[in-house]
Structure 1
Amino acid sequence: MHIGILTMTFALPGCTSLKEKRQRMGGLHERFGRSPTVAVCESGERNSLTTSEWTFVVAGHSVPEVESLCSEIEDRLQRGVDGRVTEAIREIL
């Protein structure tokens, strides 16, 4: 069993309230947390209006499988979030 940790930071230009931030980042738990191989949480910048940080923990039988799942999550986030990815950090354990 291999574990991957993907931490992504987003810039949310023009965001004026925490409610708007939650709406713009909403649905990440539902989109990714349903998979039995992925855990997701908002891991930082909770009170910042213009920045959001999310961490995804991915489990797989092989390193290539974990890398592939991390790449898929990263690609989907870059296309599906109303914000700009400013940092993506991957770590394989």
Structure 2
Amino acid sequence: MSTLPVSCCAYGISPGARLERNGAAEQGTERAERLHDSLAAVTALLVQLQQVAAAAEEQSALAEIISESVTRVRRIREQSATASEQTAAPSAELARLGVEL
């Protein structure tokens, strides 16, 4: 059996319709490519946002550590000042006794 060439017109399809379908396919492909590019850009943005969030979390933890350190230094300074005040009177008394001897 041989296959006879069949014209698209035999099925009621005009040559222009075939071109329209090809054009629609090309437009669909272009849209798919643009959608893919958009999705890639959104994905990259999400990765950057995750990195920013992680960095902010690290900075917050570091700020907490610094705050705790400053609080400890302040407490030690206050204890040192109190100890100095407590030794001032006995030191003065010893100095006075030393002069009397």
Q: Normalising by structure 2, report the TM-score.
A: 0.21
Higher strand content, 1 or 2? 1
Q: Which of these two proteins has the greater Rg computed from alpha carbons? A: 2
